[in-house]
Chains A and B, each alone.
Chain A
Amino acid sequence: MRGSMEAGTLLRGAIYWSFSSHSQRHLLQRARLRRDVLASSSNPQLQKSYQGPKPKRDLVPDWVSNNDSTARSLPIYVGGASLVAVLVNRAVSGIAPVADASSSQSRADLLALGLAVTSILTGLVWLTIKPKSISVVNPLGVECRMISSSHLPDPLIAELLWAWESLSSVTCCRCLVVVYDGTCILQIGVAAESPDGEAQAVDAARLTEGSVYQGVMKSGSQSYLANLSLYPGRSELPFLPSNTQAVILQPLGDKGIVIIGGDMIRGFTTADQAWITYLGEKLDATIAKHTISGTPLKIQDRV
């Protein structure tokens, strides 16, 4: 098992995929069909390619999104410069610097000043709504890809892997653990390192009895721990890397839980939370469907 290691990936521990003979058959078919692929013709259906309007590049939104800090302070500079320009104009033209509305010149000056002040204030408002940039904290631990049991049906495995790929590419998720019916059926991503150097396995029994799990089950809704270091129940999640920043606990019906660890404080946005809620419901439905016969998802002998 401990073969050569590539730089950047520490692959240790009991990492296995368990497959039924189903996939072995596919392997053989794949080898056999490779020859047929070379001989067969391409897709006979000729699809008309899209000739409609292509979206043109929007310069302004792109520029604003890319130069966020410049765009935020732009109104302040514009307003300040105009303020100075109005005063200089008055001075240069030999008009007394008195702010009265008697002459049309003064009125025009006042209006211009008012506009400059509006611009400055808008710039200040924009500066204050700048989201704090939070840095990513790389989780300390060991890469882990573990699926339990040799009898999980393929659609379920595919769905679990899809969930992991989606979460890891879209959000700041770095580790994913799915516990259902007293067993850990998935542990993927970065896991804490156990004393013997392998990935720390999830003690599902201990987790299920802990207060974190009970609390989530009782409320029945998602729990978002935006800053894990402030949370006292941290000790009940020893399998997560020690410097995991944020955790989302999503219940799967009343039998399971999904634990998602992120690498940024408050890294999961509200949109992410909403999507994860729906994801949890889908996983719950799929797992329930595929274990409806009552086959327990216990860990079998490793392949």
Chain B
Amino acid sequence: MGSLSIGPLIQLGYSSCRLPSNRTRKPIAIRADGSPTSKDQQDQLNVSVLRFTFGIPGLDETYLPRWIGYGFGSLLLLNHFAGSDSSTTSAQLRTEGLGLSLAAFSVALPYFGRFLKGATRVDQVALPEGTQQIFVMSPTISDSEKEEFAWGSYVLLRNTNTVAVLISIQGELCVRGYWNVPYDNGTAKAPILDWFQRQIENIGLGDLKDVLYFPQVPGSELWEMLPNGTRSLLVVPVLQSRDGSGIEMIKNRGFVILASNMEYAYTEKDRAWIRAIANKFRVQLTVCPRLERFFGQFGPHLLMGGPARERQIYIIHSSRTSGRKLK
């Protein structure tokens, strides 16, 4: 990483991937570093960054325009009220008006800058206070599904800015992370699971068709079960398209709830990957259908298999008859 210091103010250099370095290593709410070496990071990003920095560790210079805006704005006001000997001229009023609007613009600049591509997040992330960490799964699921849920929840917690994850597939729950449960540590799993089930029914997520993304949680208490300090919320439904009697129906098979204590926690790419993980649960459903369940509740739809299986069956035909388009 080459760097050329020209005085204390401007550092010109090739920056490595700007992973937030001032976060202490908390067990769950961090972003995984992956395993690339610093040379790989340099090759990947290859972005030369002119960074204006005082070189003081812990000071985030992204917010410098905001401080300058506040400082100069207050100086302008001070000048207006205390600095003039005679009455203010119109020219001065014009200048001051321009100065104040510029100050307001400077204050807003870091907020705009956050949404640009390539912007890095250096928010401090604190784990929610007063909530306990839980990990419960419905007892009525098979071992392979347990593994899937465990892996899925682990990956979601480690790789995204998530503190709490809830996976519900066909009524089976897997809850992991910091949730606001009104039970003490050490109560049995059954009442906790029932409580979550009731919460979910009250909210009415069983019929969800769209992804819900709240980058800034409205109000202080959106849902009771969310941990304190939740700032972003993402709900991804797990859908399965059924081709029943000529009409394509999209049925909701479950959903995944992710809560984070950072605002704007999930970027476009994060959401794409989370959708992929949610698809994994859907694929799992179709591969291991439980006979006693689908005849009872969902009818014989599941026997037809999911999209992956349908495609496979389609291919048998296509490879034997004509080379039709596979996808």
Residues of B within 8 A of A23 (CB): 309, 312-313, 316
Which chain A residues (129-181) contact chain B, with CB distance < 8 Å? 129-132, 143, 145, 154-155, 157-159, 161-162, 165-166, 169-170
Q: Kindly supply a per-residue 1/0 record for chain A positions 8-27, scoring 1 wherever the CB is within 8 Å of any chain B CB and 0 otherwise.
A: 11011001110100010011
A229 at interface by CB-CB < 8 Å: no
Which chain B residues (307-325) contact chain A, with CB distance < 8 Å? 308-309, 312-313, 315-316, 319, 321-325
B21 at interface by CB-CB < 8 Å: no
Interface size on B, residues (CB 8 A): 117
Give, as a whole number of angstroms, the nearest-CB distance from B254 to chain A: 11
A38 at interface by CB-CB < 8 Å: yes
Q: Is the CB of B105 within 8 A of A30?
A: no
A6 at interface by CB-CB < 8 Å: yes
Q: Take A26-B309, A275-B273 as given contacts and tell me if A226 and B245 are in contact as well, using a CB distance cutoff of 8 Å.
A: no
Residues of A within 8 A of B288 (CB): 155
- The contact of B316 among A19, A114, A129, A155, by CB within 8 Å, is A19
B190 at interface by CB-CB < 8 Å: no
Q: Take A105-B92, A119-B106, A125-B52 as given contacts and tell me if A89 and B304 are in contact as well, using a CB distance cutoff of 8 Å.
A: no
A255 at interface by CB-CB < 8 Å: no
Q: Is the CB of B273 within 8 A of A271?
A: yes
Residues of B within 8 A of A65 (CB): 115-117
Which chain B residues (70-87) contact chain A, with CB distance < 8 Å? 72, 75-76, 79-80, 83-85
Q: Is the CB of A29 within 8 A of B303?
A: yes
B94 at interface by CB-CB < 8 Å: yes
Q: Is the CB of B65 within 8 A of A119?
A: yes
Q: Kindly supply a per-residue 1/0 record for chain B positions 230-266, scoring 1 wherever the CB is within 8 Å of any chain A CB and 0 otherwise.
A: 0000000000000011000001100000000000100
Cα–Cα, bound, A2→B322 (Å): 7
Q: Is the CB of A221 within 8 A of B117?
A: no
Residues of A within 8 A of B119 (CB): 129
Residues of A within 8 A of B201 (CB): 48
Q: Is the CB of B118 within 8 A of A3?
A: no
Q: Is the CB of B214 within 8 A of A55?
A: yes
Cα–Cα, bound, A6→B327 (Å): 11
- The contact of B79 among A38, A108, A124, by CB within 8 Å, is A108
Q: Is the CB of B95 within 8 A of A17?
A: no
Q: Is the CB of A159 within 8 A of B303?
A: no
Q: Is the CB of B159 within 8 A of A162?
A: no
Q: Is the CB of B35 within 8 A of A33?
A: no
8 A–B contacts, CB within 8 A, in A order: A26-B313, A45-B206, A50-B205, A60-B115, A65-B116, A115-B69, A270-B41, A275-B273
Q: Which residues of A contact B (CB under 8 A)?
A: 1-6, 8-9, 11-12, 15-17, 19, 23, 26-27, 29-30, 33, 36-38, 40-41, 43-45, 47-55, 58, 60-61, 64-65, 68, 71-72, 74-75, 78-79, 82, 85-86, 89-90, 92-93, 95, 104-105, 107-109, 111-112, 114-116, 118-119, 121-122, 124-126, 128-132, 143, 145, 154-155, 157-159, 161-162, 165-166, 169-170, 221-222, 224, 226-227, 266, 268-275, 277-278, 282, 285
> Nearest 8 pairs between A and B by C-beta?
A47-B206, A3-B322, A93-B91, A166-B276, A112-B99, A3-B323, A274-B34, A48-B204
Q: Which residues of B contact A (CB under 8 A)?
A: 17, 19, 31-36, 40-41, 43-52, 64-65, 68-69, 72, 75-76, 79-80, 83-85, 88-92, 94-96, 98-99, 102-103, 105-106, 109, 111-113, 115-119, 144, 147, 151, 155, 158-159, 201, 203-208, 212-216, 218-219, 222-223, 244-245, 251-252, 264, 269-270, 272-273, 276-277, 279-280, 283-284, 286-288, 297-301, 303-305, 308-309, 312-313, 315-316, 319, 321-327
